Amino acid sequence: MSGTGGAGAIGFGIALFEGVEELDWAGPWEVLGAWAHHFPEDGARVWTMSREPGVLTCAKGARVLADHTWGDHPAVDVLVYPGGRGTRPQLGDPAVRQWVRDVAAGARVVTSVCTGALVLADAGLLDGRPATTHWASLELLAGLGTGIEVRGQDRFVDDGDVVTAAGVSAGIDMALHLVARFAGVDRARQVQEAIQYYPAPPV
Amino acid sequence: MSGTGGAGAIGFGIALFEGVEELDWAGPWEVLGAWAHHFPEDGARVWTMSREPGVLTCAKGARVLADHTWGDHPAVDVLVYPGGRGTRPQLGDPAVRQWVRDVAAGARVVTSVCTGALVLADAGLLDGRPATTHWASLELLAGLGTGIEVRGQDRFVDDGDVVTAAGVSAGIDMALHLVARFAGVDRARQVQEAIQYYPAPPV
């Protein structure tokens, strides 16, 4: 993984898998997709990737198809690893560890949403770094790597080439931060306006 | 459409169609799905419905499969109509108007997210009511019905048996409001915690 910033094409690959939490992927997808759609001159591209072809059933039952498989996806500049109960069977899986490490090695930034951080930690990518995850998995995260500094109060943690977000909806905030980081605050505000992201939780 | 509130089974049907905006449906889906999953005792059920079977391509390119078609979906207590560029070809379509009116006639509440309000308005369901939509479609909404009181500043507008949300991400706020309305504020806060919806836009 190398530094970030600057112009040029940026490919965002979002991992999908059985049991992925819907908003974990759909939040960043919407933010990054709106950026790519409304401002094609920035060169952002976004796609999803699954281990194998075929329909995936998400954590709450939505059925989706990924754009690519592990075997045929474009080069990933920014990996987005969502969470969901489907992350648990991936922990300790040598093939998942290897794929994540391989993608990370060629990427500029590796990111996670929610319990996607567990998969990054299991692959050793969070060792010695600050990171966060869903509030209910903070202890689990701390135990998965070596010297992970777990930050339970942060909406997302930007450690340069690794960025981790808190639970589910936090992926929207993180993705908007990525737009700002790659294309500037003004652009991020334009994307924010496009998706009318001025949240006002009613409770 | 009749009154709301109280306990008992509540079926939420979310409409899907070609060109539906991803977060428009995935936001309410996540909120309502988390409610149904974590608190099955409340009797909430959530499903998606499309006109015909088969893969749908959303506005930003995500490919999804609906749970049911117009011909086989369960009875809808609460209709959720998302927006996206795919709403435009539906305006003036007699089959869409009839289906929306039929579902509304049997529902307790009809709701929309973003430009889903245009489809409700085109079916005559917003005549003489306050309503909102994505900021870029406020004028279009006003022209689609008779006496629609367009509220461009509201995150969502609850007019009893019709609830309309502003653009894209506003569906999350509206869905959380629906949980509070049907099951109380405490329950809505539990769902909010489950999806860690404490938004903090970084720009």
Strand partners, A11: A45
The pLDDT confidence band at residue B109, using thresholds 50, 70 and 90, is very high
Please give the average per-residue pLDDT across A52-57, as a whole number: 97
Q: Tell me, what CATH number does B36's domain have?
A: 3.40.50.880
Specify if A3 maps to a domain: no
Give me the domain span that covers residue B106. 10-16+24-194
Q: What is the DSSP string of B3-68?
A: ---SSS-EEEEEE--TT--HHHHHHHHHHHHHHHHH-GGG-EEEEEEESSSSEEE-TTS-EEE-SE
Check if A147 contacts B (Cβ < 8 Å): no
Total domain count, chain B:
1
Chain B residues whose CB is inside 8 A of the A196 CB are 114, 134-135, 166-170
Structural domain contains residue B143 = yes
- Provide, as residue numbers in chain B, all residues whose Cβ is less than 8 Å from the Cβ of A132: none
Question: Residue B1 falls within a domain, yes or no?
Answer: no
Q: pLDDT tens digit string along A67-95?
A: 999 999 999 999 999 999 999 999 999 99
How much is the pLDDT for B2? 42
Residue B202 domain flag: no
Amino acid A6: pLDDT? 44
Report the predicted TM-score, pTM, of the whole model to 2 decimal places: 0.95
pLDDT at B155 over 90: yes
**Residue in the block written with tokens 């078609």:** B69
Chain A touched by B176 (CB under 8 Å): yes
The Cα of B126 is separated from the nearest Cα of chain A by a number of Å equal to 22
Chain B residues whose beta carbon lies within 8 Å of the beta carbon of residue A26: 22-23, 26-27, 30, 62
Residue B2, domain member (yes or no): no
pLDDT of residue A188: 98
Is residue A151 a part of any domain in this protein? yes
Q: Which residue of A has its CA nearest to B38?
A: A60
Residue A5 has a pLDDT of 42
Average pLDDT, chain A: 96
User: Could you say which DSSP state residue A134 is in?
Assistant: -
ipTM exceeding cut-off 0.85 for this assembly: yes
Model confidence pLDDT, tens digit, residues A164-196: 999 999 999 999 999 999 999 999 999 999 999
Q: Is residue B200 part of a domain?
A: no
pLDDT in the model for residue B123: 98
Q: Identify whether the C-beta of residue B32 lies closer than 8 Å to the C-beta of residue A22.
A: no
Is the pLDDT at B46 greater than 80? The verdict is: yes
- The reply to whether B58 falls in a domain is yes
Cβ distance of B64 and A61 shorter than 8 Å: no
> What is the rounded average pLDDT for all residues in chain B?
96
B-facing residues of A in 58-97 (CB < 8 A) are 60-65, 67
What whole-number percentage of chain A has pLDDT above 90?
A: 96
- The count of CB pairs under 8 A between chains A and B is 160
